[in-house]
Every structure is written in structure tokens, then in C-alpha cells.
Amino acid sequence: MNATVERTAPESGPLIELREVTKVYGQGPAAFPALRGVDLRIDAGDFVAIMGPSGSGKSTAMNILGCLDSPTSGAYLFRDAHVEKLTRNQRALLRRHDLGFVFQGFNLLARTTALENVELPLIYRGEPRAARPAKAREALDAVGLRQWEQHTSAELSGGQQQRVAIARAIVTNPTILLADEPTGNLDSQRSHEIMDLLVALNRDRGITVLMVTHEPDMARYAKRVVRFVDGRVDSDRHNGEKR
């Protein structure tokens, strides 16, 4: 983000904030309001589970927070900078330097080793070739897969593939990790292992975690649960003691 980004307050406020954010798809009679004036504040180091039924707006909100989409109206502030006023290239830089993504479907390159998959974000950032393997190995070590670095996706279990995907997301030391149904394709045991890993990354590395999930058992790992209904925040509560 360059010096032209407007700032409205000192950086002592929330890490990210949505203010009266709306998102409308289509026009005229076909217009669909996916978000209807959402206010949401997330502080650095938080772990937030975002829940809600299909069509509630939770995925739209995550796309806006991840700079994959822009609001129709309202403000999205990241460290007090107005993200909704950034150009497409500026939003891409924000994604590249501050955001990490984990998806339900892993999204790994099938014929590529775990190490090479984790190196991909470093390539996009222009990291020197000589520096990439060490950083990728460090990320794989953080998710417990250092010994699997030369295995391709086809040689890894679903849980291991998701660990590689998480390593790929954290290799750039992101400020925020956005996880979209990260346990959706995993059995119960592997799901809890992945959630334990996300909790550890949040606790030990201070990474702010935003996670969309439809599973109450997984949401219990978060510090907060925000529930969307009909394009609005219906509830925002703190969880009790975590595992």
C-alpha cells in the first residue's frame, strides 16, 4: 500500500474494520443485496469463526476482507487505511504481503512437491530463488511436515495436504490468515488436528485468523463467533475457554 492511501486515525485502533458495508450483485429487479450494512471490528491476534446459513453473506464478507471483492458502499479499513479506495494492483499487494489463504479444497498443484507448493507465494513476491527453499522448509516444519517435503499431493493424505496448504499460507508471515471451511473435506480426527494447528499459529505466532465454517465443533476453537443472517451480523459472541 502506498503513501496515497487515506488514513483516518492512528494505528492504535482495530486491525480490520467494516463500517456499514453493503454488497449488491446485479442491477434493477435482479439486484441481490448480499450484505446489508455490516459493521465488524477485528483486533490483531483475534481468532474469529464466521458462521451462518447459505446465502447469509458470510462468504461475501470474507471475499471483501480478503480483497477478492469490493463493497458496493461502506468502508473497509485495514490498519486504518481505506481498502475500498485502493486500486486493483494495490489490493493485490495487500493480499501478497499481509494475507494468507486456506481453502476447503486445498488447491495444491498435483504433480508438484510439498516444498515447491509452499514456495509459490515466495515466487509471486519476487523472493530470490536461493532463499525460497529454506523459508518453505521452515513453514513445513511449523505444520509438522518437514519430512514430507519431497512428496507430491497424490502421496499425501487429506490432512497432510491441508497442512501443506497452511504452510503455503504462512510462508510469507501474513498478518491475517483467512480460512474458508478448512476442515470441510476432512474426517473428524484430522479436522481437530487442523484446528489445533490453527490455534497454535494464532497463539504462538500472533497470526489473526478469520475462518468460515458451518461446523459448531470447529467454531468452538475460535475466540469469537460471528453469525451472519440475511446479509447482516446477527450475533457476535466470545467463546469460553479453548482447548
Q: Which structural domains are found in the chain, ordered by start?
A: 16-238 (3.40.50.300)
Q: How far is the C-alpha of 129 from the C-alpha of 105, rounded, in Å? A: 28
Q: What was the pLDDT predicted at 34?
A: 96
In this predicted model, what pLDDT tens digit does every residue of 131-163 receive, in sequence order?
999 999 999 999 999 999 999 998 999 999 999
Please name every residue paired with 178 in a beta bridge, in sequence order, or none if there are none. Answer: 101, 210
Q: What was the pLDDT predicted at 7?
A: 36
Averages of pLDDT over each 10 residues, the chain, 243 residues: 40 85 93 96 97 94 94 96 93 92 89 94 91 96 94 93 95 95 92 95 96 95 97 92 43
Q: What was the pLDDT predicted at 242?
A: 44
Closest C-alpha to 222, from 204, 205, 237: 237
Q: What was the pLDDT predicted at 6?
A: 42
Please state the pTM of the whole predicted model.
Answer: 0.89
Q: How far is the C-alpha of 17 from the C-alpha of 40, rounded, in Å? A: 6
Helix (H) or strand (E) holding 133: helix 132-142
Please name every residue paired with 99 in a beta bridge, in sequence order, or none if there are none. Answer: 176
In this predicted model, what pLDDT tens digit does every residue of 179-195 receive, in sequence order?
999 998 899 999 999 99
Q: How far is the C-alpha of 52 from the C-alpha of 230, rounded, in Å? A: 9
215 neighbors 229 (Cβ within 8 angstroms): no
Closest C-alpha to 183, from 151, 205, 161: 161
Three-state DSSP class for residue 170: helix
Q: What was the pLDDT predicted at 124?
A: 87
Q: How far is the C-alpha of 201 from the C-alpha of 144, rounded, in Å? A: 12
136 neighbors 167 (Cβ within 8 angstroms): yes
Question: Which are the contacts of 71, defined by CB distance < 8 A and separation ≥ 6?
Answer: 18, 21, 22, 23, 35, 64, 84
DSSP, residue by residue, 26-67: S-GGG-EEEEEEEEEEE-TT-EEEEE--TTSSHHHHHHHHTT
